[in-house]
Chains A and B, each alone.
Chain A
Amino acid sequence: MKYRLLGGLAVSALAAALAGPAVAFEGLSVSAGDCDYGGKLLSIEATAEHEVVFTMCKPDPAFEAKAAFTPFGIQPSEHIASAGVDGSIIENPIGTGPFSLESWNRGDSVILAANEDYWGGAPAFDQLVIRWNSEGAGRLNELLSGQVDQITNLSPDDFATVQNNPDLQFLPVANPNVMYLAMTNTFEPFNDVRVRQAIAMGIDRERIVNNFYPEGSQVPGYFTPCSLPNGCEGDPWYDFDPEAAKALLAEAGFPDGFDTAIYYRDVFRGYLPEPGVVAVELQTQLRDNLGINAEVVVMESGEFIDESTSGRLDGFYMLGWGADYPHVTNFLDYHFTRGTVQFGDAFPEIYESLLEASTIADAETAAPLYATANNAIRELVPMVPIAHGASASAALATLEGAHFRPFGAPRFEVDNPGKSTLVFMQNAEPISLYCADETDGESLAVCQQITETLLQYGLDSGETEPALATDCSANEDSTVWTCTLREGVTFHDGSAFDADDVVASWAAGIDASNPAHVGNTGSFDYYAYLWDGFMNVE
């Protein structure tokens, strides 16, 4: 038996006998050694040229949904070993996708060329140009003038403009999301559950959704949107009752309210299309309904995310979440599981049920546990869910096949602009093009056109479809997932795609000791978060 090294680990090579009698396949693998590190992944092995086995430390029913997520895109193992190590991969991705990177003109655009050899069929046009503009009015203006073919994040006030314009297409985006008003329970007076409950009852969420969100938005009954299985188990949220809220606040020792702040970032998101306007409305409601004087404070986006997710904001803050993959764990576990500090000290009443539920594959079996968790969230009020926002994209009427998927960016290879170039305009410039180490949606949208994952989300749902894997199936208790890979696929550099590329790409993200675990910032957030931590952390 031969052995190969990957990521500084002793890695077992896999016997040729598994691959066939003629050529011995020497597959890569990466392993944590054991499950003591607390993560979900024990090992990833290339068991044959076109077969990869993921062995889990505990059952993960959401494996397929996660494996379809863009950060788990596959690049050639040789490219990972060179560009991944020296860091140049962040500007030079190589994938198997329908488009290859032609140039990234910083501050202006990313130019992608159609992949004539794409396994799913060559796109109907030659070039995809991705541009950006942070202003909603600016994006719409570009679309109206025909400079771009499709824009993202249409401003709610422009919905009617687009719907009434015969030259444009209105494309609703069905991405499940939630906007919430959070409080950190390690700061006074939010350490008193009565204060948090009073705020939960004292905000007229219906007034906010009806007046400040586009049509199709909903008042949340639960933190998780009901379109996700088990999202809406348990008791629904409090009704608006300012009298009861005032009484509860008085009981907590604040009959005249208190002074605090509402922090937010001025960034357009589907769950919060107009942050400033909603902040002022919340400020007004807190003052009028509860006597709370809240100063509105705008923060720089990066600083706001750092401060809020680290539990360092001493007032209210407005944040939200758009689903990365279609599973309730993406909402509840990310926000409320053990170790999260976003709302202060995590509540065992919430996370104990979540931890148990996350290992159960059958949604019906897990339902009572999610009901317990949702009831605990309602009782302890770490935040107040304000809205499930409706959002939309817009395209020229001439763009055939225009769409916007519930999960992920559009798959432009199915579009036909009727000309050689399709221009897409999004909110912002990508941060980097190595999305194993990115969380930013604008980066993921570009990466998705270049690199592909084992599975992919459908055009109109969160159901997964085959992509680089023709099939991923689990053993009985969902602890071993075997993925059969698509044959005959080549990367943009001409190299053939095989199981080693899958192992090398995943290893760079999940294995902290891997030489290619460099990335853009080195945080590889989605690997750490979706698989409960890195392997081989020293």
Chain B
Amino acid sequence: MSTLGRASASVSEVIAEEGLLGDPVPLWKRAWGRLLRKRSGQVGLIMITTLILIAIFAPLIAPYGPEDVLIGVEDVSRREAPCVHILGCDSSRPQHLMGVDGNFRDAFSRVVYGTRVSLMIGLTTVTAALFFGVLLGSIAGYFGGLLDNLIMRVMDVILGFPSLLLAIAIVAVLGPGIQNALLAISIVTLPAYARVTRASVLSVKELDFVAATRVLGGSKWRILFRRILPNALTPIVVLATLGIATAILDAAGLSFLGLGAQPPTPEWGTMLGSERNQIFSAPHLVFFPGIAIMITVLGFNLLGDGLRDALDPRLNS
């Protein structure tokens, strides 16, 4: 056989050259195709893309700055109801799509700029938790033994507390503020990534190609990070997507309690918290930030669900 004469060629090259498996389609490309075919994935993707565009183009979309006080600028009253000209609001009145808040600021502009803050919170916390969670989970899963025990018991302790309560406790110690809130949320979400990564690594490390790399003399770290981890990423990606939604929700909760973003930052939870007493007299000031949180969380959840289905190997056929 011709392959015997070319010992230096890799197995995959040989398979490709011989056309043994037909035209190979990369996993991620196939997953992307499946994601686009799933209704939940489509809707989630559209929602998140829209939110990202709103965040990027906030200065073009928002008619005012998020901290602009309209006293003496426009004839508006405090906590004024939304005024939308095409819905019949007198055109001589300044248009405020979501009304005016308790500090005479345009609520729509603040909700738009709030998209930046919320996405930043979601992405930052998940990135941090992902990095450390995957690192710790990989080490625990691959090396096992005492290191595994030590890392996973610490994770178990963190998981033993309700996440939001633990986040509140951490912020209470570190002091209120968006940075401390991000840190707290990262810490409380970290164990989930560590556990999932460890489980994936445990299953992948027993596969033949890992053994083959080991036999060929690959170093432990190279095997872990170049061979095992890329093949264990699927559940982590799904978890991270869903985790962004949870992180945004937790951050909004902390801010609502006055422990997260501080005024005048246009953060949705802070906006909700500062106007919670006006739920009867100015319901629009709690309704719109609440809806914004709901849409964002829903978007990431739908995208996460779509990704889970798209990356499920049982659906490969």
Residues from chain A with Cβ under 8 Å of B263 in the complex: 276, 279-280, 283, 296
A positions within 8 Å CB-CB of B: 135-137, 140-141, 155, 157-158, 161, 207, 211-212, 266, 274, 276-277, 279-281, 283-284, 295-298
**Contacts A266-B258, A298-B258; A157 near B69 (Cβ below 8 A):** no
Determine the distance from Cα of A66 to Cα of B258 in the docked complex, in whole angstroms.
39
Is B71 a contact partner of A277 (Cβ separation < 8 A)? Answer: no
- Among B276, B278, B281, B282, find the residue whose CB has the most chain A CB atoms closer than 10 A: B281
Query: Chain B residue with minimal CB distance to A134?
Result: B277
- Main secondary structure, interface of A, reads helix
Contact digits for B262-277, partner A, Cβ 8 Å, 1 yes 0 no:
1110000000001011
Listed in ascending order, the chain B residues whose CB lies under 8 Å from chain A are 67, 69, 71, 78-79, 102-104, 176, 258, 262-264, 274, 276-282
Selected contact of A157 from candidates B67, B104, B278, CB within 8 Å: B278
Contact in complex: A277, B103 (CB < 8 Å): yes
A residues near B104, Cβ cutoff 8 Å? 211
Structural contact, B274 and A276, CB atoms closer than 8 A:
yes
Residue of B nearest to A276 (CB): B274
**Most chain B CB inside 10 Å of its own CB: which residue of A141, A155, A157:** A157
Q: What does DSSP make chain B's interface, helix, strand, loop or mixed? A: loop
In the complex, which residue of chain B has the Cβ closest to the Cβ of A285? B69
Which A residue sits closest to B77, measured CB to CB? A211
The answer to whether B274 and A277 touch across the interface, beta carbons within 8 angstroms, is: yes
Q: List 6 A-B contacts (CB under 8 A).
A: A137-B280, A155-B281, A277-B274, A280-B263, A280-B264, A281-B103
> Distance in Å from the Cβ of B268 to the closest Cβ of chain A?
16
Residue contact B78 to A295, C-beta cutoff 8 Å: no
What are the residues of chain A within 8 A of B281 when measuring CB–CB? 137, 155, 157-158, 161
How far is the CB of A153 from the nearest CB of chain B, in Å? 11
> What is the minimal beta-carbon distance from A387 to any residue of chain B, in angstroms?
15
Given A135-B276, A157-B282, 17 more pairs with CB closer than 8 A: A135-B277, A137-B280, A155-B278, A157-B281, A158-B281, A207-B71, A211-B78, A212-B78, A276-B263, A276-B274, A277-B102, A277-B103, A281-B103, A284-B69, A284-B103, A284-B264, A298-B258
* Bound CA–CA A8/B277 (angstroms): 52
Of A161, A207, A279, A298, the residue contacting B176 (CB under 8 A) is: A298
User: Which B residues are in CB contact (< 8 Å) with A212?
Assistant: 78
Contact present for A284 and B67 (CB under 8 Å) = yes
Contact call A211/B71, Cβ cutoff below 8 A: yes
Residue of A nearest to B270 (CB): A276
Q: Known: A136-B277, A155-B281, A296-B263. Contact between A274 and B102, CB under 8 A?
A: yes
Q: Which residue of B lies closest to A136 (CB)?
A: B277
Among A135, A161, A283, A298, contact of B264 (Cβ-Cβ < 8 Å): A283
Shortest CB-to-CB span from A292 to chain B, Å, is: 14
User: In the complex, which residues of chain B have a beta carbon less than 8 angstroms from the beta carbon of A295?
Assistant: 262
**Shortest 8 CB-CB contacts between residues of A and residues of B:** A157-B281, A277-B102, A280-B263, A296-B263, A298-B258, A136-B277, A280-B103, A137-B277
**Distance (whole angstroms) from the CB of A427 to the closest CB of chain B:** 12
B259 CB → nearest A CB, Å: 9
Closest CB in chain A relative to B276 CB, distance in Å: 8
How far is it, in angstroms, between the C-alpha of A155 and the C-alpha of B176 when the chains are bound? 27
**Which single residue of chain B is at the shortest CB-CB distance from A204?**
B71
Nearest Cβ on chain A to B43's Cβ, whole angstroms? 35
Give chain B residues whose Cβ lies under 8 Å from the Cβ of A280: 103, 263-264
Considering the chains assembled together, what is the distance between the CA atoms of A122 and B78 in angstroms? 46
Q: Which residues in A have their C-beta under 8 angstroms from that of B102?
A: 274, 277
Q: How far is the CA of A137 from the CA of B67 in the complex (A)?
A: 26
Chain A residues near B280 (CB, 8 Å)? 137, 140-141, 158, 161
Given A158-B281, A161-B281, A277-B103, residue A297 in contact with residue B78 (CB < 8 A): no
